Amino acid sequence: MSAVTAQAAPTVTPKGPPYSYAACLKATAKKWKSPSHRKWRCDRLVKKGLVKPPKR
């Protein structure tokens, strides 16, 4: 058996979520008609880290 040296995976710093909150609302407007449901959906995506939080 040969000795295999394990190399650590390079660390990548995340750049943050790729989509803005406004883009999420615009995209969900095509599928869901209720504004409250669209907001709920985008809020869930913010929690998952897929959408940037809204600027308030």
pLDDT given at position 9: 52
pLDDT of residue 12: 45
Whether 3 maps to a domain, the answer reads no
Q: Is 41 among the domain residues?
A: yes
pLDDT at 40: 94
Q: How many CA atoms lie within 13 A of 20 on its CB side?
A: 4
pLDDT for position 18: 86
Q: How many domains does the chain have?
A: 1
pLDDT digits (tens, 9 = 90+) for 1-56: 555 555 655 554 467 778 899 999 999 998 877 999 999 999 999 999 999 998 87
Cα-Cα end-to-end distance for the chain: 60
Q: State which residues form the domain around 48.
A: 16-56
Instruction: Tell me how far the alpha carbon of residue 53 is from its chain's centroid.
Output: 10
